[in-house]
A and B are shown apart, each in its own frame.
Chain A
Amino acid sequence: MACFLAPAAEAIIVSVIKKNEQRKEEVALKNEVAASATTTSETGIPWSRKLSWLTRMLWGGVFLLAIEHIWHGEVVPWPPFLTAMNNPADIQPMLMEILTVGGTMVLFVTAVWYVMTLVADRIYQKSDVLATSEK
């Protein structure tokens, strides 16, 4: 009915966190460059980049799921936008679906992303070790 609203809410929150993280990293980078040139090596993949993977997965998924809901006539371009809102008896099941199906989508996508970041960190560190041993 409207399960994509839960990942949409997460996408908004993560986008804000990502913007803040990006700002922090930019400030930290500027300070580091200004302070000294001794500690220039990166210790891992920046969090803003990792968060950008999650936002792209969430926004992309939400967009494509919204298309699917339009196809099935569950979302319309006029108010109240969700056809379930027209019938008061459908509102309760719709909210339940957002909570259960949407909530599980949020947890599943976030869990997959978290594993992805661990694997990416591992690969990054491995390539870093290889590069230093080759020197």
Chain B
Amino acid sequence: MSKRVPKNNAMQKNGMPKNGTNKSVGKRMYEYRYIYLLGIPGIVILILFNYLPMKGLLMAFENYNPHLGIMGSEWVGLKHFQTLFHDAKFYLMLRNTLVISGLSLLTFPAPIILALLMNEVRSLTYKKFVQTAVYLPHFLSWTIIVSLTFFLLSSEQGLVNKIAVELGNEPTSYLFSKVWIYPIIVIQSVWKGIGWGSIVYLAAIAGIDQGLFEAARIDGATKLQQITRITIPCILPTVVVMLILKMGTIISVDFEQVFLMNNALVKSKLEVFEIYIYNNSIATGSTQYSYSTAIGMFKSLVNTSLVILTNWITTRKGFEGVM
């Protein structure tokens, strides 16, 4: 009996006295047993595939030996992290990641512009058609998109080079060119993401009070003025939130894309963390498990800090209502 009293107090503090204030936690858990049953598969999967691997992070502080296992391997402390910060390769990977993310940050306005344009389309059928078309690439795999790029740009089978040859020019091997690889990657990403990215802005635009536009029209404002003076200021909070969220992913690149576009000639431009990790541990079965884990852990930690930071900024600035 004495055990039950504090629990009840805690329960009331949590503001959940709904289903009988006098029931113990155990009783309430029993009451919800079927609801727990629904949640258990998800919890088990999260534990098995999201939390269990975290044990593997210990490898970053060991000289991992697959035969000895994670618990039996030699403990080396921060050695791998020290190596990491003196590794020229590490700085190359960091640079490549930041360059690719930075370039994709430059294309940030593209979905906003698309949303503004789509919003001005008069015919609903036409708008539906455009939307159907521009959302499609989001659902295509990178294998498909890289294949399309291949058909467009490959030196023998690519459409662009066929036209170039027809016009009497030499074919250019875009896919193996250090100059072209970044533009290609950025264009691929824009092509894939522009439509999908515009949805959130279209929603924001749809939420603007139509009376504002009405008033502006009566005052003789042109369409352009309406866009610059009403639409853009009204969706600015959404834009800011999306920009901040995007900044939070600056240490990550779309790995499958980079992995598929990679080849021996552009390797120095596309070597990012995951590619290095994959090539030096899983792909080759080499003994660099520990070092690769350390690199991955560094990336994860930076990523997490950025996400927390950006979340903190958005909440602090009072934009939480937007998302």
A and B interact: no
